[in-house]
Structure 1
Amino acid sequence: MEIIQIVGLGLVATVLILVIREQKPMFAFLLAAFTGIVIFLFMIGKIEAVISVLQQLAERSGIPSIYLKTVLKIIGIAYIAEFGAQIVRDAGQESVASKIEFAGKVLILVMAVPIIGVVIETVIGLLPAGS
């Protein structure tokens, strides 16, 4: 039950952060950031397993690998932007966090343009000629 370990780590870190924040706010922030990074690193193995399964499915279905890679990059951008924004938010910098989220959204849009183009071309190809 990995979720129990993760929640346990989060709860212990939260209690420590609440105790430390009164005396040493910088250490409390560092502990929060470190806890987030540890949880992220703990999940990397799971993420790799999901990516592997998706690659196998894409190969079997004949989907060009460039599309899967693009979608995975988009998902990665979303997770990293959210993770970074939350750490910055923990430091009390809401305006910087919102800029990180904005940058993530713009990068996602840029990455999605080729896929959107393929979808539009496919739809146009399905329409009867003369419509």
Structure 2
Amino acid sequence: MFLSDKHRRAFEAANRIMADPIDPIYIIFKSLDKIDPVIATWRYLHHYRGKLGENPRAFNTAMKDFYENPDVKSYLRANKVDHALVDLVLKLQDRKMAWDYYEDPERIFGSKRLFEIPAHVAREAIEGIPLFLGNDQ
């Protein structure tokens, strides 16, 4: 109702694309939407490193659904999304690997061959974006 004609047309074009589940743009946006919560779990581990109280493993246990959600991998594979992204999800959904990252990030990112995508790209997605907009506290 409050959109200009230009913004209304853009909104309608986006809705047309998102209404077609086989459109490559739809597939990549949906893939990123599915991957984001998995990366966010690692972002929490990064942000709250050393601040999770007396039983920090409780957080990792509470995030069970993010580690065990098979829908993410299934969607990526069914839509033939790049294998490197599937590999990234497989690694990020590994609870032990996430805990190793919490304890010592170099245990994960010190291994240059761990991810099929460059490790610095995965690390930037986790550590390079503030958890909270405006400040990172």
TM-score category (smaller protein): 0.3 to 0.5
Rg larger in 1 or in 2? Answer: 1
TM-score with structure 2 length normalisation?
0.34
- By percentage of residues, which structure has more helix? 1
